[in-house]
Amino acid sequence: MNSSIVKNTSKLLTANIIAQAIGLLVYPILTRLYTPDDFGTLNIFLTIGGIATLFATAEYQNSIMLPKSEKSGVACFHVGFVITLIVSLIFVLSIPFASQISALLNAPELTANYWMLPIYIFAISLWTLLNYWHTRNGRFTSVSAYQITQCTTGAGLKWGLAGFLRNGLIVGSVLAPIIALATNVAATFRTAIRPLLTFDRAECRLMAREYANFPKYSLPRTLINNVSGNLPVLLLAPFFGVSHIGFFGMALTLAFRPLNMISASLYQVLFQRIAEQVQRNESIKRFFCKFIRNTFSVVIPVFAALFFIMPWLTKWFLGDGWDDTALYIRLMLPWLAVICVGATIAFIPDIFQKQRTSAIIEIIYLILRICALLTGILMNSFAIAVALYCAVGFCVVGYQIIWYLRIINRYERSL
């Protein structure tokens, strides 16, 4: 188990490091070419697109990993693909209302870019399905290639378009996944894509019913989690404007890109491996306890050091005028520490069919986050809103880790 995890994680982690490093290294250039308002509009665009992509797959991408037969796995992919087509079409029909949606979010620049949302949603959703299809079959090299292509292309386009288009950030964010997706499909057509061309309607209906818990419980849970994670953008933008959102969005980018380099890679590999372990009724507790202990032993001292050097580091990296970003990252650090563990093993409820309880936790999480942000709004302080938002995140993610361990303990007792 250890050797295969190290091998597969190394593939994804290497690709993630290269991709995220490219994405991060271009930011000192982008922050000198675009304004905080431009980044604020980008964050609003990506927030809407991110929420829509959840509906576009209805969480059926997770079901691709679970069936034992290849035919059923293909059918799970097709169920998600049909939903992707429907949701993308719905957003095409919403284009005439772009100005009203932009006015509601206090983001006038969004109007001219709204037409690209359906394209972005389709491309990201289709890759989400293909990503899990590749993961099911152990094609981690294909996943790695996509990550590098998307980040490299996105960084180059955002930089190259800066002198020609003010909305170069959004155009680059839309074109990059399209180019990466097309490249991936072309490269893996014979080995990975060809089996997906056979559509079995009866099997699709069977799989849709078999894994109905994903749209029934996982989708609301993930949707709530996503909306909850983007609440500062959705709730604070109308009160404080896109400039504050630009600073905060930059803080999220700089904080989560390095974190996701490791957690996203480990999540995919561990999800596949632990699902197989559970299918064989093998013990998993010892591994998880060691993983959590070792992760915190590294994260806590590193984040403590970052707290003290963050103002200098941010000014050196982004340039003058981004001081607020350093403040927001410092406020996030305790929350980020528990996310390093919680995000990596968040597949536990899906493996053990605990989506309903997980959805309830996310609802409570959302309510607490809304209360935190509303407190900041009432006090007319963006910083207080962010501080309370991060404090709530630290408490809830910490509880989720404890809950995951309880689920694992119950499984171990059943062996």
DSSP 224-289: HHHHHHTHHHHHHHHHH-HHHHHHHHHHHHHHHHHHHHHHHHHHHHHHHHHHHHHHTT---HHHHH
Q: Report the candidate in 152, 86, 75 with the shortest Cα–Cα distance to residue 121.
A: 86
Q: Which two tokens stand for residue 308?
A: 């003290």
Helix (H, G, I), strand (E, B) or coil at 324: helix
Q: What is the mean pLDDT of the chain?
A: 85
Residues 215-219 have a mean pLDDT of 82
> What pLDDT is attached to residue 3?
56
Task: Give φ, ψ of 323 to 5 degrees.
Answer: -60, -35
Residues 6-10 have a mean pLDDT of 63
Q: Quick one: pLDDT band at residue 40, thresholds 50, 70, 90?
A: confident
For 14-33, give one letter per residue: b (16+ CB within 10 A) or e: ebbbbbbebbbebbeebbee
Q: Which two tokens stand for residue 351?
A: 């493996």
376 or 164: which carries more pLDDT confidence?
376
Predicted model pTM? 0.71
> What pLDDT is attached to residue 11?
65
Q: Among residues of the chain, what percentage have pLDDT more than 90?
A: 31
Q: Quick one: pLDDT band at residue 120, thresholds 50, 70, 90?
A: very high
CA 361 to centroid of chain Cα atoms: 19
